[in-house]
C-alpha cells in the first residue's frame, strides 16, 4: 500500500467523466427499487428478484469493470504508467494499492446502493443487509479480477464483459458446472448464509457451499492482486493498434 | 514562446519576404470532393468495425464475437436439418443473443470515433472539404451496416438451415423477412446510441464501459419492470415497459406491427401501441443523429 499512489488512483477514478457512470448506475438501481416498490408494494419475492437479478447480476459486475479497469487501464493505455513504475516502489504494492482503491470505490458505489435499494424494497430487514454483504464481497472479487485483466490485456473491458455478462449469465444458466466457477454464485453463498433459514423461502440458492464460496473469493482476490503485481514487474507497453 | 507581435519586431524587414519558387508542380487535376471523401470514410469505418484493413490484433475481438453470434444459429440449423422438425424462431434470435450484440456495439462504436478524438485526427478530417454532417453520416451509416451484417448473418444461417431441411418455404419467408426488418431497425437504433456515448469520451476503454453500461442497464431495468408489472396484472404498463430497452422496442415493433411472435411476457397493446414503439425507435435514430451533429460542432474533447 502506498498513500500517494492511492490518492492518484482515486483522483483519476473520481475526477473525470468516469464518475458520471459511477453515479448513474447505482442511481438507476435505486430508481428501479422505487418503481418496483410502487408497483408491487412490499413483496419479498420482487425484492429478491431486483437485488439478485439486477443488483448482483448486472450492477456489481459493471461497476467492478468500470472501477477495476479504470484504476490502471488508462495509465497503461496512454503510457504514463512508466512514470509510476520507474519510482522505487514494489510493483506488488502498486498492484495492491490499485486493487484496494478500486474495491473501496466499488463498495461505495455498489454495496451501499444495494443496501439502500434493499431498504426501499423491504423496509428494515436482514434481506437488504444480506444482499449488500453479497455485493460487497462480489465487488471485491470483481475489482481484483478486472485490475488483473487491465494489466494483462488492452481488451480488458471487452473480455471482462464477456466473462461477467455472458459466462455468468448465459453459460451459467445452461451449463450447471459453469455456475460453480462464477463470482456471482460465490457471493450468493455469502448472501444465503446471511439470510439464514429464510434463504429457502426466498429462493436464494447458491450453486456452491459457503466454505467453497469464501475460499474461491479469497483465492481470486489474493491471487489476482499478486498476479497483477507480478505482471507489472515485466509489463510491455505496446502501442494502440 | 514568441507572439506574432514579437516576431514582427524582431525582424524589421518583414515586408520584404519572398515566396521562393521551389519548382513544385501544381495539381490541376480533378478534385473529387465531399461525396467521395464521405464514401471513403464510410467504407473504411465499416471495414474497420471488423478489423479489416487493420492489424491482426484488432480483428480478433470482432471475429470472435461474430463467431459466437453465429454459433447458436449454426447449431439450430444443423438440428433443423437433422430432425426436419420445428421451424426456428427468427424474430426471437436477436433478443436471445442481445448480450453479444451489446458487447459488439460497445467494442466497435468507441473504436470508430474515440481515436479520431484522442489523436486529434478529427481536426484533419474537418480541414478537408467534408462537412460535419458528412462525417456524422458516414460514421453512423458504417456502424449501422457493420451491426446489420453482425445480426443478419446468423438469421440467414437459420434461414438456410430451414431451406436445407425442406421446411415449407411459405412459412419461413415471412418470418425471415420480419426478422430482417427488425434487424435493420435495431442496427440503426444501436448504432446511434453507441456512437453518441462513444463520441463523448476520447478514451476507448471508458467508451466501451459506458456503452455497455447504458445498454445492459436499460435491458436489466426493462426485464425487471416488465416482469413485476406483468406479475401484478398491469398489462398495459407491462406492454409499454418494452420502451425502456432498444432491443424490446424493436421486438415490440416486430410483434405489434409485423405480426411476429414474441418471447417477452407482454407486448405493446394493439396497432396503436406498435406505432408508439416504432415512433420511439425513429425518435432515437433522429435524436442520436442530431446529438452527434451537435457534438461535432466543436471538435474539442
pLDDT digits (tens, 9 = 90+) for A166-194: 787 777 667 777 778 888 889 989 998 88
Note the pLDDT of residue A17: 84
The closest of A100, A239, A69 to A164, measured between CA atoms, is: A69
Note the pLDDT of residue A238: 67
Looking at the predicted structure, is the pLDDT value of residue A25 above 50? yes
Looking at the predicted structure, is the pLDDT value of residue A209 above 80? yes
CB contact under 8 A, B228 and A162: no
Give one DSSP letter per residue of A153-164, joined into a string.
Answer: -TTHHHHHHIII
Residue spans of chain B under pLDDT 50: 1-10
pLDDT digits (tens, 9 = 90+) for B225-284: 998 888 888 888 888 999 999 999 999 999 989 888 888 888 888 888 899 999 999 999
Question: Is residue A175 within 8 angstroms of chain B, CB to CB?
Answer: no
**pLDDT-above-70 percentage for chain A:** 97
Best mutation site among A39, A57, A78, A154 for testing chain B: the one with the most B CBs within 10 Å?
A39
Torsion of CA A58, A61, A67, A72, to 10 degrees: -140
List of chain A residues whose C-beta atoms are within 8 Å of the C-beta of residue B232: 39-40
List of chain A residues whose C-beta atoms are within 8 Å of the C-beta of residue B224: 32, 36, 49-50, 53-54
> Which carries the bigger pLDDT value, residue A149 or residue B29?
A149
Grid coordinates of B143: 456502424
Phi-psi category of residue A200: left, alpha or beta, with phi > 0 → left and psi -120 to 50 → alpha: alpha
CB contact under 8 A, B103 and A165: yes
- Among B residues 183-242, those touching chain A with beta carbons less than 8 Å apart: 200-201, 203-206, 208-210, 212-213, 216-217, 220-221, 223-225, 227-229, 231-232, 234, 237
Number of neighbours of residue B67 by Cβ within 10 angstroms? 10
Query: With b meaning 16 or more CB within 10 Å and e meaning fewer, what string describes B156-192?
Result: bbbbebbbebebeeeebeebbebbbbbbbbbbbbbbb
Interface predicted TM-score (ipTM) of this complex, two decimals: 0.87
Note the pLDDT of residue B87: 67
DSSP state of A89: -
Considering only CB atoms, A40 lies closest to which of B54, B208, B232, namely B232
List of chain A residues whose C-beta atoms are within 8 Å of the C-beta of residue B205: 69-70, 73-74, 77, 150, 156-157
Q: What angle do CA A191, B213, A227 make, to 5 degrees?
A: 65
**Closest residue of chain A to B96, computed from CA coordinates:** A170
**Closest residue of chain A to B241, computed from CA coordinates:** A35
Query: Which of A95-99, A118-122, B2-6, B280-284 has the lowest average pLDDT?
Result: B2-6
In order of A46, A61, A68, A125, B152, the CA distances from A132 in angstroms are: 16, 14, 19, 12, 41
The shortest C-alpha distance from A114 to chain B (Å) reads 15
Q: What is the C-alpha separation between A64 and A97, in angstroms, rounded?
A: 16
Amino acid at each position: 500500500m502506498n498513500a500517494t499512489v492511492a490518492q492518484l488512483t482515486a483522483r483519476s477514478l473520481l475526477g473525470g467523466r468516469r464518475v458520471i457512470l459511477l453515479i448513474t448506475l447505482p442511481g438507476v438501481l435505486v430508481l428501479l427499487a422505487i418503481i418496483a416498490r410502487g408497483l408491487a408494494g412490499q413483496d419479498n419475492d420482487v425484492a429478491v428478484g431486483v437485488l439478485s437479478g439486477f443488483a448482483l447480476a448486472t450492477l456489481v459486475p459493471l461497476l467492478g469493470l468500470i472501477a477495476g479497469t479504470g484504476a490502471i487501464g488508462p495509465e497503461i493505455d496512454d503510457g504514463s504508467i512508466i512514470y509510476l513504475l520507474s519510482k522505487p516502489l514494489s510493483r506488488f504494492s502498486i498492484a495492491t494499492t490499485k486493487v484496494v482503491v478500486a474495491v473501496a470505490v466499488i463498495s461505495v458505489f455498489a454495496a451501499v446502493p444495494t443496501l439502500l435499494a434493499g431498504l426501499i424494497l423491504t423496509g428494515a430487514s436482514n434481506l437488504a443487509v444480506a444482499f449488500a454483504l453479497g455485493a460487497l464481497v462480489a465487488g471485491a472479487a470483481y475489482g481484483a479480477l478486472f485490475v488483473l485483466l487491465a494489466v494483462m490485456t488492452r481488451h480488458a473491458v471487452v473480455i471482462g464483459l464477456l466473462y461477467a455478462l455472458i459466462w455468468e449469465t448465459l453459460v451459467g444458466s445452461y451449463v450447471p458446472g459453469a455456475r460453480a466457477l462464477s463470482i456471482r454464485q460465490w457471493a450468493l453463498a455469502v448472501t444465503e448464509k446471511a439470510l439464514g433459514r429464510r434463504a429457502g423461502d426466498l429462493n436464494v440458492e447458491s450453486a456452491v457451499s459457503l466454505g467453497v464460496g469464501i475460499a474461491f473469493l479469497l483465492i481470486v482476490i489474493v491471487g489476482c492482486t499478486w498476479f497483477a503485481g507480478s505482471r507489472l514487474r515485466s509489463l510491455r507497453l505496446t502501442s494502440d493498434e | 514562446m514568441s507572439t506574432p507581435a514579437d516576431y514582427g519586431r524582431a525582424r524589421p524587414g518583414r515586408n520584404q519576404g519572398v515566396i521562393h519558387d521551389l519548382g513544385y508542380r501544381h495539381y490541376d487535376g480533378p478534385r473529387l470532393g465531399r461525396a467521395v471523401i464521405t464514401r471513403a470514410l464510410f467504407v473504411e469505418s465499416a471495414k474497420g468495425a471488423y478489423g479489416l484493413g487493420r492489424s491482426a490484433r484488432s480483428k480478433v475481438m470482432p471475429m470472435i464475437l461474430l463467431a459466437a453470434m453465429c454459433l447458436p444459429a449454426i447449431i439450430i440449423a444443423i438440428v433443423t436439418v437433422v430432425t426436419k422438425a420445428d421451424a426456428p424462431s427468427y424474430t426471437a434470435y436477436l433478443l436471445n443473443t442481445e448480450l453479444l450484440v451489446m458487447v459488439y456495439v460497445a467494442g466497435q462504436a468507441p473504436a470508430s470515433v474515440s481515436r479520431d478524438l484522442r489523436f486529434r485526427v478529427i481536426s484533419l478530417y474537418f480541414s478537408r472539404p467534408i462537412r460535419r454532417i458528412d462525417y456524422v453520416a458516414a460514421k453512423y451509416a458504417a456502424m449501422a451496416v457493420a451491426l446489420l451484417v453482425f445480426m443478419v448473418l446468423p438469421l440467414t444461417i437459420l434461414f438456410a438451415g430451414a431451406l436445407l431441411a425442406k421446411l415449407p418455404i411459405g412459412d419461413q419467408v415471412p418470418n425471415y423477412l420480419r426478422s430482417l426488418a427488425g434487424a435493420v431497425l435495431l442496427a440503426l437504433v444501436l448504432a446511434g446510441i453507441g456512437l453518441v456515448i462513444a463520441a463523448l469520451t476520447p478514451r476507448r476503454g471508458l467508451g466501451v464501459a459506458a456503452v455497455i453500461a447504458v445498454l445492459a442497464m436499460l435491458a436489466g431495468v426493462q426485464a425487471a419492470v416488465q416482469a413485476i408489472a406483468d406479475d401484478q396484472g398491469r398489462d398495459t404498463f407491462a406492454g409499454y415497459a418494452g420502451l425502456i430497452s432498444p432491443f424490446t422496442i424493436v421486438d415490440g415493433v416486430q410483434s405489434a406491427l409485423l405480426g411476429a411472435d414474441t418471447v417477452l411476457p407482454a407486448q405493446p397493446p394493439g396497432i396503436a401501441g406498435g406505432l408508439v414503439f416504432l415512433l420511439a425507435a425513429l425518435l432515437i435514430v433522429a435524436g442520436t443523429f442530431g446529438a452527434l451533429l451537435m457534438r461535432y460542432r466543436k471538435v474539442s474533447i
